[in-house]
Amino acid sequence: MAEIEKKTHPGFYAILVTLIIMAIGPIMLMLINSFKLDVDIISGTSGLIFMPTIQNYETALCDILPYELDHLDFCALKFGGAFVNSLIIALVSTALTLIIGCMAAYALVRFKFFGRDTASATTLMVRMVPPAVLLVPVFGLWNNEFCLDKTGLVGGWIRDTFGGRGDVCLAGTHSGIILIYIAMNLPFVIWILQSFIVQVPRQLEEAARMDGAGPFQIFFKIVLPLIKPGLAAAAIFTFRIAWNEYLLASALSDRDTKTVPILIVNNMSEYNVEWGVIMATGMLLAIPPILFTLFASRQIITGMTAGAVKG
Amino acid sequence: MSTAKLNRLSPYLFLAPAFLVMVLALLYPLGYMIYGSFRDWNPSQALGESTFVGLKNYYTLWHDPNFRESVVVTLKFAISVVTIEMFIGVGLALLLDRNLRGMSLLRTLFILPMMIAPVVVGLIWKYMYHPTLGVFNDTLRALGMEPVEWLSQHALLSIIIADIWQWTPFIFILALAALQSLPRSALEAARIDGATGWQQIIHIKLPLMMPVLIVTCLLRLIDAFKVLEVILVMTAGGPGLTTEIMALRISRTATEFRELGVAAAMSNYLLMMLLLLTVLMLTYNRWIEYRANKAQRAAEEAL
């Protein structure tokens, strides 16, 4: 290229630095405050001169820490349990969405049921449905319809094993929340995986078939390893929704299945907010997405731009 | 079952779980919601026990000033955030579309606000807007100005600012990707013909980016209608109804007022609005593509 190398104006770097500070400033603020005691936060000696402490994190996680805390007589915030719930729900729904989505995407590409256009249209349609719209029907269905009769064989067994009264319903269980997250994410996952599966050369599969591999073997041993980047992007997006979602989880969870976002919202609406502890919890909730972003930003951008930008 | 038969069935076996989940957890609930919107239904009843009331829920809502208020707030919020974000995002992309060191770092860090939980975003901003503790009022005081009651006097503006912080990067990244995939030849030709920077942007870059920008705008608009957690944490719809967007109103109607039928009808209104928007935008996009194709064909014939 005969393009003349233009010198970049230093102003551009100034803009760049400003943008970076604006983007991560608020998050850094939360990080710093999560290491401050409430006394330091409220006294308003804003700045970096304070004694950093992990007491907020200890308070937040008091119910799963192996040791007793001196500054607390009673562990009121059960964030530890909520973290376990959040982890179970996010990991299981991500894994299931990927497995189901992968199989469906493969079938759609290889056996040509309908093209990518249909998949993109479905994706867009599902993306259009706000979680708030699902709130009412999901609440009704999960509580009243998706139930096993307690006198039935399976329902009776569950009631005998786990106790409780009434019919065995999806609401209030981890599976209930997981099911709706899978449904919300599936179209996107299928759609993004399709674009990766299309690129797997047909000959490779033909060769495997010649060697006597069945469709399942071909899928697991040939196709899956080749679409790893697509799987990574799909996994991150699914995990993010399942990990961060509040509304449906709050409608479907009971006392024992609350996730972290629910506890944060509950504690924020109180009159006297314990800023330090809340920030520590917020930070803990933000850590997995932050790690994904730092290590897999390329895949995230792929997932984000796919669909709008062709090619 | 023979192997051959299993092989023939395998596509259906591969598709079955996805199909089942989508029908059970998405299509059926949506149908259930539409059915429920015609009924007088409260959370303690099963849907079958509720009474049929026809279009009463829709009619009541249409004349309910509170609901109308929330529609207006939703539209105000969605239109202002999308407009401002489009301007800033596309502007920044045009400005920074060059080989700068640190660009990939910027893109990585720019994604962060979108990736962390909306609940956490709300929490951070609620803290920053805090009348006595927040950084904004600290700064104002340091500059010798009167502190502002962000979340009570300027609630809508405050949530709009928070949304701009969170989502402008999305538009920036998409616009930048679009810019970098533009055909080099067109830009080269313009440069040789002596087009200035502005002329290149207005006559070449923006028109070529248009299809991507429209889809971006559509995606952002859809998402703006879905924002709920950030606002719930920051203002909970208050003060009064000034920031009560439709999604929040649906959730309050269902959980606080315990009127599931009305909430379902409201959900349906919201869904219809979004559907209309999507169809409009997609049609417009099709039309633009069609026109571009026609122009291209005409140009080829002229050669």
- With tokens 């065995």, the residue in question is A168
Structure tokens at B108: 């990585």
CA A75 to chain centre: 27
Count of other CB atoms within 10 angstroms of residue A72:
13
Cβ contact B201:B235 at 8 Å: no
Tell me the C-alpha distance between A164 and A166, whole Å.
7
pLDDT of residue B105: 83
Identify all chain A residues contacting B33, using CB atoms and an 8 Å cutoff.
Answer: 133-134, 136-137
Closest CA to A215 of B19, B15, B20: B15
B32 lies within 8 A of chain A by CB = yes
Shortest Cα–Cα distance, B299 to chain A (Å) = 23
Q: What is the mean predicted confidence (pLDDT) over A141-168?
A: 69
pLDDT of residue A45: 58
CB contact under 8 A, A127 and B36: no
**pLDDT higher than 80, residue A153:** no
DSSP state of B259: -
CA B83 to chain centre: 12
**pLDDT higher than 80, residue A90:** yes
Amino acid at B162: A
Residues 151-180 of B with CB under 8 A from A: 165, 169-170, 173-174, 177-178
CB contact under 8 A, B274 and A33: no
Q: What is the pLDDT of residues A235-280, one digit of tens each?
A: 998 999 999 999 888 888 888 888 889 888 888 776 677 788 888 8
Identify all chain B residues contacting A244, using CB atoms and an 8 Å cutoff.
Answer: 116-119
Q: Cα separations (Å) of A284 from A23, A56, A82, A262, A302?
A: 19, 11, 12, 14, 26
SS (H, E, C) B87-104: HHHHHHHHHHCCCCCCHH
User: Counting Cβ atoms within 10 Å, is residue A14 exposed (0-12), middle (13-18) or buried (19+)?
Assistant: exposed
pLDDT band at residue A4 under the 50/70/90 scheme: very low
Closest CA to A244 of A284, A294, A275: A284
pLDDT of residue B234: 87
CB contact under 8 A, A137 and B236: no
Cβ contact B229:A261 at 8 Å: yes
pLDDT band at residue A163 under the 50/70/90 scheme: low
Shortest Cα–Cα distance, B301 to chain A (Å) = 26
Identify all chain A residues contacting B181, using CB atoms and an 8 Å cutoff.
Answer: 309-311
Of A209 and B9, more confident: A209
pLDDT of residue B75: 92
- Mean pLDDT per 10-residue segment, chain B (303 residues): 68 84 87 86 76 83 88 92 93 83 82 89 88 81 81 86 91 88 83 83 84 85 88 83 87 84 89 87 80 84 76
- ω into residue B29 within 30 of 0, thus cis? no
A/B interface, count of CB pairs below 8 Å = 284
Among the four given CATH numbers 2.60.40.420, 1.20.1740.10, 1.10.3720.10, 1.20.1250.20, the one describing domain A28-305: 1.10.3720.10
Cβ contact A192:A229 at 8 Å: no
Adjacent-strand bridge partners of A169 = A147
Of A7 and B92, more confident: B92
pLDDT of residue B89: 92
pLDDT band at residue A114 under the 50/70/90 scheme: low
Q: What is the ipTM of this complex?
A: 0.84
In sequence order, what are the residues at sequence separation of 6 or more whose Cβ sits closer than 8 angstroms to the Cβ of residue B92?
Answer: A19, B168, B172
**What percent of chain A is modeled with pLDDT above 90?**
9
Shortest Cα–Cα distance, A205 to chain B (Å) = 14
Domains of chain B, first to last: 68-246 (1.10.3720.10)
Identify all chain B residues contacting A29, using CB atoms and an 8 Å cutoff.
Answer: 124, 127-128, 135
pLDDT of residue A271: 67
Q: What is the mean predicted confidence (pLDDT) over A85-97?
A: 92
